[in-house]
Amino acid sequence: MEPTVDPGQAAPGERPVTATPGSATMADVAKLARVSPATVSRALRGHPSVTEDTRRRVLDAAERLHYAVSPAASRLATGRTGTIAVLVPRLPQWFYATVVAGAGPSIHDAGLDLLLYELSDAAVRRRFFARMPLRRRVDGVIALGMYMDEVETEALHRLHVPVATVGEREVAGWWNVRIDDVDGAAKAVRHLVRLGHQRIGMISSFSPEGYAFRTPIDRRAGYRQVLTAAGVRYAPELEFSAPFGMEGGGTAMAELLSGPEQPTAVFCESDEVAFGALRTLRRAGLRVPLDVSVIGFDDHDMADLLDLSTIAQPVREQGRTAAEMLLRSLTTPDAKPEHVVLPTRLVVRATTGRHATG
Amino acid sequence: MEPTVDPGQAAPGERPVTATPGSATMADVAKLARVSPATVSRALRGHPSVTEDTRRRVLDAAERLHYAVSPAASRLATGRTGTIAVLVPRLPQWFYATVVAGAGPSIHDAGLDLLLYELSDAAVRRRFFARMPLRRRVDGVIALGMYMDEVETEALHRLHVPVATVGEREVAGWWNVRIDDVDGAAKAVRHLVRLGHQRIGMISSFSPEGYAFRTPIDRRAGYRQVLTAAGVRYAPELEFSAPFGMEGGGTAMAELLSGPEQPTAVFCESDEVAFGALRTLRRAGLRVPLDVSVIGFDDHDMADLLDLSTIAQPVREQGRTAAEMLLRSLTTPDAKPEHVVLPTRLVVRATTGRHATG
DNA sequence: TTGTATGCGTTATCAA
DNA sequence: TTGATAACGCATACAA
């Protein structure tokens, strides 16, 4: 059937296969495989209507030419960008970096690119939402801990691509994965109550830049709920709020200690806050947990090192879940956005126990 | 000159400006501004040969149509991808996340995208270098702590784009930014020597996956150099190596403590190793620094919290420097790759001091 | 099953 | 200074 003589081109073996590797085009592959560019395109993407024989010829030729599809051309032709943007407030924070790391493999396994944007301060953030560099550039967005206001939310909506948020309030039309912060906080405080504590303080935190995080609100709610349910007196003077981070935790603990009524146990909104609190206690010469029990929230990498009792949340999984929800919405554009709540878990270590005087 | 009647289209005011926002094309803008698409392209990119008047008309029209350039089309036409890839072994590790965060703003300010790849284990890594998803996809690559072997290095070379590495050995033709690990280690050990220590141990680490990191080698070299120079006996049994991380540091310290000759001070290759070592000391009931002094390396976020003496290195700056070198090489393709060495600095905190018995 | 022809939205070359 | 016009490399509707 197939003539063994080649009408136009030189024999395959004579082609300068190694010249400017990576710059071969689909037409080059087509010539070498003796098919049309259209068939190359189909063969390369596994279209069913291609003979096993020609597919092999095409793959062979592509291999020999070190051919790689031009994403730009492909994107222009299809209209799809093959790209997911991930928005994160501060990458060096363990939580965010871990969520991103959790999302990466799912995105890459699907053959998509991961575009990273760290919006670390108010100025950067404002510029980002004003210029919206994602326009025409991404097929979907994952937003971590961004707690966007009306304007920002609207700006993202205008991209007309699916959005998945992690650890935020639920936005209509967007996918969301989070934990139950109220319930998680309740677990922590119940643990303290069951150890016999009656004076239980809390250190929550706020964004120095004024973003309306929902997490502190929910965790405070869980704290108060349990106190009320357990019949433990809720004392406003045992509740402190400080800027997010270790420093804030440290100073808030100092204030707690200098207050009229020293707590025997403190629930810290996050492990980082707890780290700072622990340092203050150590410097104050107080024994943990004999004098003061401390429990955090997150199960930070370092929590184990410091023997900190805490509430563990699945961090990496939140990233993975968000990515997979988003990917699903790309293949099924009319899928209804889901809101997933992942479980938390009490981790008892050495910073919680009964008070020395009972 | 310009006829005020519009031959084809309706008057600007009547156009459905809000319809499918973001989907306007350059031709739409051209029509609205009554110029050719070519002029729109020139005006939008600040080409000097455009009248101030027409430029304003174009920008106006673009604004009203919510126009955004299609990156795919632009890339196809120019051949430039407008994208930098960042390769990182493990994103949740503070050091890597911080370097990436340092590189981000420079990249984004230049109008480029940041494509993130976490190559977290050997299997992922092998697949990455085998398939090379970066082909035709990026204008440059930043590789952090990858310590690539021959094959991997060659694979990156074949991309024919500039490469900047951070914290690695210097590769011919590639840009590099790093610190002087030998010198940094020397600073740490000199600090211990000057405190009067004579039995100084070291805990270095190795990659569980067998990558040939240069850092441990250099830091060990600095350690030995100072011992020799100071006339302190170098005792091989005081040198331990453990898998990277807190766990490894903890077990290595346990081995040091159970050896024939207990050290009075230990230089840990990294802060994370030191964290583990500190925990072991605490659990062993040993006082720091009275019984054993500990110094780390990196000035990790948590080092301050734990009062760990250490050698600080500019982490964020390494990311920024790498990005800016790479950007320079994009605008000046024939620039000679530079190798930058950033300074380290001794940070004295509370884990180093004189030995109790002198 | 495969090939032809066209469009995707820019940029760049060349004329005007 | 501006406007036609031709790439850029691929995907797909339509034909064969």
Which residues on chain A are in Cβ contact (under 8 Å) with B101? 90-92, 118, 120
- What 3 state SS string does A42-80 have? HHHCCCCCCCHHHHHHHHHHHHHCCCCCCHHHHHHHHCC
- Quote the pLDDT of residue A157: 95
Name the nucleotide with the smallest C1'–CA separation from A76: C8
Q: pLDDT band at residue B12, thresholds of 50, 70 and 90?
A: very low
* CB nearest B118 (choices: A94, A104, A132): A104
Which residues on chain B are in Cβ contact (under 8 Å) with A116? 86, 100, 104, 114-116
> How many other β-carbons are positioned within 10 Å of the β-carbon of residue B73?
16
Closest CA to B65 of B44, B49, B38, B42: B44
Instruction: Specify whether the CB–CB gap between B73 and A76 falls below 8 A.
Output: yes
When scoring B136, B141, B160, B304 by the number of chain A Cβ atoms within 10 A, the one with the most, hence best to mutate, is: B136
> How many other β-carbons are positioned within 10 Å of the β-carbon of residue B22?
14
Instruction: Specify whether the CB–CB gap between A164 and A137 falls below 8 A.
Output: no
* CB nearest B136 (choices: A68, A92, A135): A68
Mean pLDDT along residues B338-344: 97
pTM of the model: 0.91
pLDDT in tens, B281-290: 999 999 999 9
Q: Return the higher-pLDDT residue of B24 and A8.
A: B24
Which residue do the tokens 């935790």 mark? A249
* CB nearest B136 (choices: A22, A135, A275): A22
The mean of the pLDDT values for chain B is 91
**Calpha distance B259→B207 (Å, rounded):** 24
Say yes or no: B282 contacts chain A, CB-CB below 8 A. Answer: no
Mean pLDDT along residues B231-240: 92
Which residues on chain B are in Cβ contact (under 8 Å) with A304? 246
pLDDT in tens, A277-309: 999 999 999 999 999 999 999 999 899 989 999
Mean pLDDT along residues A222-233: 95
**Calpha distance A303→A246 (Å, rounded):** 13
B107-126 as b/e: b if 16+ CB within 10 A:
bbeeebbbbbbbbbeeebbe
Mean pLDDT along residues A92-119: 97
Contact A94 B94 (CB under 8 A): yes
In strand D, which positions have an atom below 7 A from any protein CB?
1-5, 7-13
Give the CA-trace dihedral at A306, A312, A318, A319, to 10 degrees: 10
Q: Any atom of strand D under 7 A from CB of B27?
A: no
Cβ within 8 Å of residue A306, ≥6 positions away:
A275, A278, A351
Cβ within 8 Å of residue B166, ≥6 positions away:
B99, B142, B143, B144, B145, B176, B177, B178, B318, B319, B322
**Calpha distance A224→B17 (Å, rounded):** 51
| A261 Cα to chain B: minimum distance (Å) | 26
Predicted confidence (pLDDT) at residue A8 exceeds the cutoff of 70: no
Q: Using CB atoms and an 8 Å cut-off, which of residues 102-141 of chain B contact chain A?
A: 104-105, 108, 113-118, 120, 124, 132-133, 135-137
* Secondary structure of residue A289 in the 3-state scheme: coil
Q: Which of B's residues 283-312 have CB atoms within 7 A of nucleic strand C?
A: none
- Quote the pLDDT of residue B13: 32
When scoring A121, A135, A315, A351 by the number of chain B Cβ atoms within 10 A, the one with the most, hence best to mutate, is: A135
- Quote the pLDDT of residue B50: 95
Contacts 24+ apart (CB under 8 A), B208-214: B208/B243, B208/B244, B209/B121, B209/B122, B210/B122, B211/B147, B212/B147, B212/B149, B213/B145, B213/B147, B214/B147, B214/B168, B214/B169, B214/B181
Contact A22 B75 (CB under 8 A): no
Closest CA to B223 of B263, B272, B175, B181: B181
DSSP 8-state symbol, A237: G
pLDDT in tens, B24-61: 999 999 999 999 999 999 999 999 999 999 999 999 99
Using a pLDDT cut of 70, give the percent of chain A over it.
94
Q: pLDDT band at residue A209, thresholds of 50, 70 and 90?
A: confident
DSSP 8-state symbol, A343: -
pLDDT in tens, A142-157: 999 998 999 999 999 9
Which string of DSSP letters, residue by residue, matches A109-135? HTT-EEEEEE--SHHHHHHHHHH-TTT
Name the nucleotide with the smallest C1'–CA separation from A48: C1
Which residue do the tokens 């004076």 mark? A199
Spacing of C-alpha A330 from chain mean position: 18
- Quote the pLDDT of residue A10: 31
CB-count burial class (<10 Å; 0-12, 13-18, 19+) for B20: exposed
Say yes or no: B187 contacts chain A, CB-CB below 8 A. Answer: no
**Calpha distance A33→B55 (Å, rounded):** 48
- Which region among A38-42, A258-262, B62-66 has the lowest average model confidence (pLDDT)? A258-262
Q: Any atom of strand D under 7 A from CB of A37?
A: yes
pLDDT in tens, B184-200: 999 999 999 999 999 99
> How, if at all, do strands B113-118 and B83-88 pair?
parallel
